[in-house]
């Protein structure tokens, strides 16, 4: 790996956040550490002190070099960064964000050698230091495409943070060609070689056919025929159209009612989803934050795993479901999900149309391919992190060495 230092900047990650960005960040970090284990002294994980326990979880993390910064200091810094970006928008002065990034880089990155590679897996940069290469993993730019999903304040904050982060980065990793197309369209990035597609991998140690699963602490869930939707309650996750589609199905199949089981954090749409489910007499079960073992139990015991977002960066949760010995897949017909479209047990629908969701649930009732589990096993091998990590090494680390 030459003498170049690789730094994983996960200082903006929160342990309380259970979304895909957290899984992606830690799994990419762990996979590259394993791949470069002969050069482990050249790899640094830059994190807040609340990640101290994770640093002891396995032998690879335990043997890595961790640089911790105070958690409260990082919280204050991120709030100030948001304020700077907010006023940059109001004053039409994007240089404020750039100068602040560089100023923060002198302080936070003062001990990082020049010519290092900093990998930031959380969509926006946290710091910028001249003489250091920056790889940014952008997961989506939803605020540009669906600004109505955000308050004015949140939109103003995101506007220059995302644009300046992409401008100041040497490389940008995207998990689907849909996101690459969005970046080219909205950010007008002229250097097309700067944006590189590398898919998100599945952690085959955590998600596989033999790993133990734990039933969530909810009486009677094992007796339900349910659709599992492992998505945070954001507007674009589209829970309400799923509820309406299930209502159409249940109104016909009175003796085979479907429930909906959800997990994750509420970002504003849980209350409305519950209200509509009550009005339509659809059984909506909200588990909140669940463990990996409980997640796997839901994948395995659900009738369907769904992903009906109308905007998404990848189909990672659906691949996790397949790796965990899940059953049918119901997904929106967006470009980010195209990897799965040819599988026989995957049903693609218009996420804006409850009637189309209903039709796909009807098609599942007639499905008779008894070998679909074997089909899934063969498919998912191509997306295990042990294999996918070589794409990241080849496209980013190897390029810098040579």
Going from the N-terminus, what domains does the chain have, and what CATH number goes with each? Answer: 6-201+385-401 (3.40.50.2000), 221-383 (3.40.50.2000)
Provide the H-helix boundaries in 151-226.
Answer: 152-168, 177-187
Alpha-carbon span 65 to 382, nearest angstrom: 30
Kindly report the pTM of this predicted structure. Answer: 0.90
Per-residue confidence in pLDDT tens, the chain, 402 aa:
456 788 999 999 887 765 788 889 999 999 988 888 766 557 899 999 988 888 777 788 887 889 999 999 999 999 999 999 999 999 999 999 999 999 999 999 998 999 899 999 999 999 999 999 999 999 989 999 999 999 999 999 999 999 999 999 999 999 988 899 999 999 988 888 899 999 999 998 888 888 888 999 888 888 899 999 999 999 999 999 999 999 999 999 998 999 999 998 898 999 999 999 999 999 999 999 898 899 999 999 999 999 999 998 888 999 999 999 999 999 999 998 998 999 999 999 999 999 999 999 999 988 877 788 899 999 999 999 999 999 998 888 777 665
Residue-wise pLDDT for 210-260, tens only, equals 888 899 988 888 889 999 999 999 999 999 999 999 999 999 999 899 999
Other C-beta atoms closer than 10 Å to the C-beta of 12 total 22
What is the per-residue burial (b if ≥16 Cβ within 10 Å, else e) of 34-69?
A: ebbeebeebbbbbbbebbeebbeeeebbeebebeee
215's tokens: 């039933």
CA dihedral for 222, 226, 229, 233, sign (positive or negative): negative
Report the candidate in 29, 26, 23 with the shortest Cα–Cα distance to residue 6.
29
């Amino acid at each position: 790996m030459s003498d170049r230092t690789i730094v994983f900047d996960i200082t903006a990650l929160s342990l309380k956040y259970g979304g895909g960005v957290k899984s992606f960040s830690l799994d990419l970090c762990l996979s590259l550490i394993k791949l470069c284990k002969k050069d482990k002294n050249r790899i640094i994980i830059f994190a807040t002190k609340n990640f101290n326990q994770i640093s002891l979880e396995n032998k690879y993390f335990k043997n890595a070099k961790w640089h911790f910064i105070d958690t409260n200091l990082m919280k204050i810094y991120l709030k100030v960064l948001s304020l700077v970006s907010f006023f940059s928008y109001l004053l039409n002065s994007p240089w404020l964000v750039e100068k602040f990034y560089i100023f923060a880089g002198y302080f936070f990155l003062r001990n990082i050698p020049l010519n290092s590679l900093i990998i930031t897996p959380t969509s926006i940069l946290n710091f910028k230091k001249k003489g250091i290469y920056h790889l940014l993993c952008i997961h989506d730019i939803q605020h540009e495409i669906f600004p109505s999903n955000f308050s004015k304040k949140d939109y103003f904050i995101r506007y220059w943070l995302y644009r300046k982060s992409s401008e100041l980065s040497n490389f940008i990793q995207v998990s689907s060609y849909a996101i690459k197309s969005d970046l080219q369209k909205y950010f007008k990035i002229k250097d097309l070689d700067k944006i590189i597609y590398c898919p998100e991998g599945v952690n085959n140690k955590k998600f596989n056919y033999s790993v133990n699963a734990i039933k969530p602490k909810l009486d009677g869930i094992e007796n339900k025929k349910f659709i599992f939707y492992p998505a945070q309650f954001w507007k674009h996750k589209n829970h309400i159209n799923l509820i309406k589609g299930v209502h159409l199905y249940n109104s016909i199949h009175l003796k085979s009612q479907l429930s909906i089981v959800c997990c994750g954090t509420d970002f504003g749409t849980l209350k409305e989803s519950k209200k509509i489910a009550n009005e339509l007499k659809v059984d909506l079960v909200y588990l909140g934050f669940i463990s990996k073992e409980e997640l796997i139990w839901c994948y395995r015991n659900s009738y369907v795993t769904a992903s009906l977002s109308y905007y998404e960066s990848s189909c990672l949760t659906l691949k996790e479901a397949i790796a965990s010995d899940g059953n049918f897949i119901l997904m929106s017909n967006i470009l980010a999900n195209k990897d799965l479209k040819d599988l026989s047990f995957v049903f693609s629908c218009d996420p804006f149309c409850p009637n189309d969701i209903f039709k796909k649930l009807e098609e599942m009732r007639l499905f008779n391919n008894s070998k679909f589990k074997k089909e899934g096993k063969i498919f998912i091998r191509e997306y295990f992190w042990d294999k996918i990590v070589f794409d990241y090494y080849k496209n980013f680390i190897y390029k810098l060495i040579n």
